Amino acid sequence: MCPCGVSHVSAGRGPVRARTNPAAPARPGAALALSVCRRGSAARPLCGRRRRAAGGREGGERGEAGGEPGEADCGGDACRMSFKKETPLANAAFWAARRGNLALLKLLLNSGRVDVDCRDSSGTTALFFAAQQGHNDVVRFLFGFGASTECRTKDGGTALLAASQYGHMPVVETLLKHGANIHDQLYDGATALFLAAQGGYLDVIRLLLSSGAKVNQPRQDGTAPLWIASQMGHSEVVRVMLLRGADRDAARNDGTTALLKAANKGYNDVIEELLKFSPTLGILKNGTSALHAAVLSGNIETVALLLEAGADPALRNKANELPAELTKNERILHLLRSKEGPGKNEFGSTLDR
C-alpha cells in the first residue's frame, strides 16, 4: 500500500531473465520454447508437476496445504508459500500469458514440460499475468489445463484481484464462473471490490456486488471501498455503493470519512452524492470536520455545499480552531459569516454580553 492509501496487486518482474553468458545473443521467447519443446515432451515438467487434465478442479479450501514443498499445488498454503525455481520454459509461458500469445502457450503446455501453475519469484502464475493484462481467451485456455484461481503472489494477489484492479470485466466474469473466491484479499486487506472501486470500474463493481462482494469490507487500516472511491473522485461509484448499502460514515483507523476526504480533495460531485445520504457533518473522531477540511483546501464551492447542507461554522476542531481561523480567503470568510447565527463575531465566536 502506498502512502496515498492506494492498494496495488504486484506482479513478478516478468519472463525476461538476465543471461548468465553476456556474450550469448538474446533469443525470443517463442524461439526458445520451440527449440526446447522439440527435444521431446516425455520429460518431467520443468516447474513443478503437471496438473490435472483439462477440465475438473483440485484442491480444498484455502489454507489446506497440498503436495510437498516446491510443488505447484495451489489448493492452499503450499501455493502461497513455496516457490519453485524459474526455468526458461516457465518464463516463456509467463511471457506468452502477458502478451496474449495463445499459440505459444498452447505449445508450451501441450509439451508436458511446463506446469500450468508455475510461478515466478514473486509467486505470479500465467493465469495471473493473463488476467492482469485482460487476455480473456488465454484465461479460458488456462482453465482448460486446470489452472487454479487460488494461487497468491507474495503480497496476496490473485488473478481475480489483478483483473479487478485493472477493470477487465470479461476476465472477472470468467474467473468467477471458474470458482474464483469473491472474498479474496491482498495481505493489506484490499478486496476485489476495493480495487475496482479504487480504479472507478463501474461495470466490474456491479458484477462483484451482484456476486456477493461485501460493500463495507475494509482493509486492515479501516479503509472501506466507499472511502477509496471518494478519495479518487469516482462519483458514480460512490452513488452505486451508497445505493447498495455502503456505510456513509465509515471511518478509517485515522478517523477520516469519505466526506472528509472528498471535502479535502474538492470533489464536489462526490460530496453531492454523499450528502444525499445525510452523512455526519459534525466533528469526527479524529477531531476535525469536513468543513474544516474544505476550508483548508481553499475550495469555495465545497465550502458552500457543506454550509448549505447544514455544516456548522461555529464548531471547533481538536486544536480549538474554527473553520474561519484556518483561512485568509475573503470569499470563504464571507460564506462562513453568512451562515453565522446572531450574537457571533466575524470568526464565529460568541460575543461577550
Q: Tens digit of pLDDT for each residue in 132-183?
A: 999 999 999 999 999 999 999 999 999 999 999 999 999 999 999 999 999 9
Q: Tens digit of pLDDT for each residue in 5-44?
A: 787 777 654 333 334 444 444 444 555 555 544 444 333 3
Q: Tens digit of pLDDT for each residue in 28-86?
A: 455 555 554 444 433 334 454 444 433 333 333 333 223 333 333 354 443 433 345 56
Contacts of residue 135, defined as CB under 8 A and 6 or more positions apart, other chains included, come to 97, 100, 102, 171
Q: Tens digit of pLDDT for each residue in 231-264?
A: 999 999 999 999 999 999 999 999 999 999 999 9
pLDDT at 115 exceeding the cut of 50? yes
CA dihedral 176, 182, 184, 186 (to 10 degrees): 100
Q: pTM of the entire structure?
A: 0.80
Across the range 188-214, mean pLDDT stands at: 98
Q: Look at residue 34 in the predicted model and tell me its pLDDT.
A: 52
At 191, phi and psi to the nearest 5? -95, 175
| DSSP bridge partners of 251 | 257
Domains of the chain, each with CATH number or no CATH: 46-181 (1.25.40.20), 216-353 (1.25.40.20)
